[in-house]
Every structure is written in structure tokens, then in C-alpha cells.
Structure 1
Amino acid sequence: MTRPYRRHVYREVPYLLNSRAGPLHHSPLAFAHRGADPGRENTMGAFRRAVELGYRYLEIDVRTAADGTLVVFHDEELDRATTGAGKLSEKTWEQLSQLRVGAREEFTEPMVRFEELLTAWDDVHLNVDLKDGESVTEFVRLVEEHEAHDRVLAASFNDARRHRVRGRLSRPIATSGGWAATALILLLGPLGMMNRLTGRIAEIDCVQVPISQGRIRVVTPRFVQRCHRAGLQVHVWVVDEPAQMHQLLDMGVDGLMTDDAEALAEVMRQRSVWPQR
């Protein structure tokens, strides 16, 4: 299967390798959602496996421990995915480092500091969902210290959190729109009022959205077209069925996030854009 011809013009963003000249130019990007291994989500074991399969983009979540350490973890509470209990924010990194992450009573992987993952590979890009307000300061410090501006994207449902990140960095990083920005595109776009969003759109580089939100269908051909006309890429989460992956890619979406690393890798291989690193 050949790559679909793209009629829209990408806004060039260093983080988004499909926006620049190179082997991925105008090709869809593949994101390993939390490492795309639900049995050990957000762990180095999951991330290594995804990278070995050919992924160049890892979608991750970060939260702040009691001592300020930025930890790669999704939930506010530790109970579901670790051998611990209670709020992550109430534990120090020393305490968290003793826990194990897993599922189905198979807890084998240690927790991961964001800095450890940031420095593990110099050609892997991190799509970072900032889960708490406290994470902004440490995230900015680590991006600056490791000069990782072109390898990270700051995502958050909270648009104010994204504003704080961009305002504190010495040079821009990629960002995606939060719920407010995305809702405005979804609601005002069909009314022909996208011009009113010029300021908001200029502050983001992509929208990262589910196929549907409740009863509302988000990802439609017209939604994708409106975003493209505004210079925004559309990345869709979380997609695990190959048929649906093909359908979305044929619609023109610019990236897919999955929990099934092998399935998305095979779809991208069929489209001659694999591996991506």
C-alpha cells in the first residue's frame, strides 16, 4: 500500500519529523501509548520493546513525587498498576523506586524517572502528558538541562499548564491543544469561524484527540481538513484495530497512538513507513 498523497501544507516543527524533509516527510507517525504494552505500561521494559520494534515516538505520562522527582506514571493513585497504594504525590522517589509495576498480578518492572527515559535514547521523541501542575517546573528544568527541546512535546488537558511550560523555556517546544482549544475547533469550525481561533492555533502544533468523546464524533474528514487548513496535525488515540487504523490513515490523520505495538507496526509496514527509527 502506498502513502496517501497529502494536499495540505505542514507547519514545520522540529519535533514532528513528518513536517520536515527526510524519510518520514508527509508520512503518518506511530506513537507507542505508554509504551504500547498494557501489562507493564510506562516502564523501561515497555519502552525498550517499542523502540526495538521501530517506534520513534513514545507517549508517556508524568507526575511529581513528594520530593519533586518527575516520575513516568499515569494514575494519581498507585493501587491499580503497582505494588504500592495511595497517592504518588505523597511518596518520595526513594519510596517509589521500591515498587513494581505490572498487571494481572505480575509486577516485575520498576518505576521510571522522566530523566532516565529522556536520556535513554538521543533519537527517540517523547509525547509528554503533564498530569499535575507541579510537573511544569521540573519538566522545564530537565528539557533545558538536556537541551531536549526538539525531542519533546508538552501535552495536557489543561491549556494553562501548557502556557506555563512554553513561557518558561529558552526556546520553543512542540505542544498539542488541550480540551479548550480542541473543543473550540470542533464547535466553531463547522460554523466557519476558524479565523477567530488564530491566536489559539498559533500556540499549538497539533491536536491529539480520541475518535469520539462520549456521543460526539471528533475525528471526521471535515475535522481533519479544518485542522490541516489551520496548519495543525491530527493525532488520534488510542487505536488498536488494524482496520480502524487504515480507515483513519486513509482519512488523512497524521499520527496514531496505540496500545498494540505489533498491530500498528504492521499497518505502517504495509504503508512503507516502517521502521520509523
Structure 2
Amino acid sequence: MSDACGLQIVFEGHATLLKWHRLRRRMADPLFSAEVMAEGFKTGASMELDLRVRADGGFVVLHDEKLEGETTGHGLVAKKSLAELRGLRMKDGGRPLLYSEDLAAMLQSAHPDALLQFDMKDDYEAIGEKGIAHLAERLQQISASVIVSASSLELILAVKEKLPHLRRGIDPTDKLGNIYRAEGWKAVEKELLADLRGPTEPETVYLYWQMLLDAAKAGLDMIALCHSEGKQVDAWTFTLNDPDSGFSDAEWTNFSALMALKPDQITTDEAPATERAWLARVAG
């Protein structure tokens, strides 16, 4: 079991991919690691990175709106040009930042099964036509290896119009959480169904794993609903607290319940350890 690659878990004939969150195969890996991405491209892994728009319309691989949290820089990412960002380093290991220009080149070597999720952290108002045009220029020859996701339906609609060949995903988690608190699960079901049938035509829906379990306990199987509309589901982000020890009893209760719902993908910061822990539990 030590040779677990962290690519997928098969349960009752259903394969659930293990997606490497923020380009980390394990939590000890540096955040947004080009080396881990290159390894994922070789092995055919599903991976995710976050993109923030730059002042020049291109993108940089960062999660936070401000530079202080992840880099040696200061201020809003959206106010900085590529030239201004070039001299910065990641706080984690002093590595250079990754840019959308780098990604387009690296994608050329991707394994046929590899999938890289571009999780857009800005909305359409911030990215605008300039940012969409930048993506179109960089990704016009690439389709199978990339899926673009966002919580902004307006942004994903713009991606669909300008880059119809790209795979698309939506993350309505925050919106659905607000609806649940205000109106309950019936209203959540109605809104999710509207999103699934809406003009963005998403391939994948990204939903918080705890919400999926809470809904299932209340009688709403959100994954089955998505599957009934021909959509895949990514359950984010389930990470073992102690990867060396495997699942705690509470983690196993939650993870096994999640797997029983048959998600198509689970986002995690500990993919190989999660696979090993699963195999160990199943083996008794």
C-alpha cells in the first residue's frame, strides 16, 4: 500500500478521482508547485490551481486577493502587471511565481488522462473581456487537459462564449449555503437544478463535502441530482488531519459516507495518504 499514487479510489465499481488541491500531492509539498504539476502531467493526475487576474489582463497562480499572504509582495494582485510580479517570490520556499504563460507551455506535455482545473478567483467584472481574450489566446489549442471553474456564473458564461471547446465547472457552494440558511433544502434543490440546466452548461459542479453529507442526511442527494442531469461532482476539500496515521474514526465515518454517494472526484491535500488510508480500512 506504500506505492499508492493518489490518483483514484474505486468503490462498488465507481471510480472517484483524487484531485491534488493547489498543486499539492501532500500537505508537505510547496503551495502551487511546478514540480508537482509536472509529475501530475506525467502520471495523468487531476490537479487544481487558483488564478488571480493581473493588471495587464493575464493571470498569476495565487489564491489570495492580496500578495501578502502567499508572496514577498504587497498590495492587490489585480493592480500588478507581469513586470511588477516577476521579482516576487513565494513565501513557501522562495520559488518564483507561476503565470498563465507558463501553464500554456507546460500543458503541451500533459498525459492524456491529466486534468488541470483553473479555479478563477476573480469575477467577470474584474477579469473582463481582456482577461478572457488572454485565456483564449493561450488555450486555443488546448482542450482536453483543462477545465475552467468559478463561482461566478457570468464569468463561466463568458468562457463558454469565447472558448466553447474548454471544459467548464461551477461552484455554487456559497450561494447554496446562504439559500439553505434562509429557506432550507427544498430551495437549495430548486436552485441547484436551475444551475445544472442553466446557460453555463457546466460539466462539473464543485461542492463542499460537508454540505453534501448534510444534505444527504436531510434526504437531498445532491450528487445523484447532478448525475441525473449528466453532470459530474467534485467534493472539496477533504484532507486527513494525520496522514501518517490514516483516518480517525470520525474522518472514516465522514469519508465512507461521502464515498457511498459516489462523487466523481474528491479534492484533497493528501491524495496518496488518502488512498493508502482507504485501502488499509477496506482491508480491515
Q: How many residues align?
A: 245
2:134 maps to amino acid: E
Matched, 1:30 2:29: no
2:202 is the counterpart of 1:204: yes
> Which sits farther off after the overlay, 203-212 or 115-124?
115-124
Matched residues in 2 for 1:108 and 1:178: separation? 31
The equivalences for 1:238-277 within 5 A come to: 238-241=237-240, 242=247, 243=252, 244-266=254-276
Structure 2: tracts of 5 or more residues without a match: 2-8, 241-246
How far off is 1:167 after superposition? 0.5
In 2, the alpha carbon distance for the partners of 1:143 and 1:218 equals 37
Q: 1:40 touches 1:109 (CA, 8 Å); kept in 2? A: no
1:182–1:207 CA contact under 8 A, matched in 2 = no
User: Is residue 2:2 matched to residue 1:4?
Assistant: no
Alpha-carbon shift at residue 44 of structure 1 (Å): 1.2
Distance 2:169 2:68 in 1: 29
Aligned to 1:151: 145
The 5 A counterparts of 1:121-270 are: 121-123=109-111, 124-132=114-122, 133=124, 134=127, 135-144=131-140, 147-169=141-163, 171-179=164-172, 183=176, 187-188=185-186, 199-200=197-198, 203-212=201-210, 217-218=214-215, 222-241=221-240, 242=247, 243=252, 244-266=254-276
Q: TM-score, normalised by structure 2?
A: 0.72
The residue number in structure 2 matching 1:19 is none
For 1:100 and 1:55, locate their aligned partners in 2 and report how far apart those are by CA, in whole Å. 28
Q: Is the 8 A contact 2:151 2:171 kept in 1?
A: yes
Higher helix share: 2
Unaligned runs of 5+ in 1: 7-25, 272-277
1:269: Cα distance to partner? 6.8
Change (3 A) 1:102 1:245: farther
Per-residue CA deviations over 1:43-74 (Å, capped at 9, x if unaligned) read 3144345557x461111111222223321111
8 Å CA contact 1:32, 1:261 repeated in 2: yes
Give the Cα separation in 1 of the matches to 2:154 and 2:234. Answer: 21
For the residues of structure 1 that align with 2:61 and 2:136, how far apart are their CA atoms? 15
Q: How far did residue 180 of structure 1 move?
A: 8.0
Distance in 2 between the 1:224 and 1:165 partners? 24
Distance 1:181 1:237, change over 3 A: closer
Higher mean C-alpha deviation, range 241-250 or range 152-161:
241-250
Corresponding residue number in structure 2 for 1:93: 82
Calculate the aligned-residue CA RMSD, in Å: 3.6
SS in 2 for 1:136: helix
Indicate yes or no: 2:97 matched with 1:111.
yes
Residue 251 of structure 1 deviates from its aligned partner by 2.6
- Flag the 1:196–1:48 CA change in 2: closer, same or farther, 3 A: closer
Query: CA–CA distance in 2 between the matches of 1:151 and 1:270?
Result: 32
Query: Does the 8 A contact of 1:83 with 1:99 survive in 2?
Result: yes
Shift in alpha-carbon separation, 1:269–1:188, aligned structure 2, 3 A: same
TM-score by length of 1: 0.73
Residue in 2 that maps onto 1:60:
49
**Alpha-carbon distance in structure 2 between the residues aligned to 1:262 and 1:211:** 19
Query: Could you tell me how far apart the structure 2 residues matched to 1:224 and 1:201 are?
Result: 20
3-state SS of paired residue (1:102): coil
For 1:74 and 1:81, the matched residues in 2 are separated by: 8
Q: Alpha-carbon deviation of 1:196?
A: 6.0
Check 1:196–1:153 CA distance in 2 against 1; reply closer, same or farther (3 A cut): closer
Return closer, same or farther for 1:80/1:222 CA change in 2, 3 Å cut-off.
same
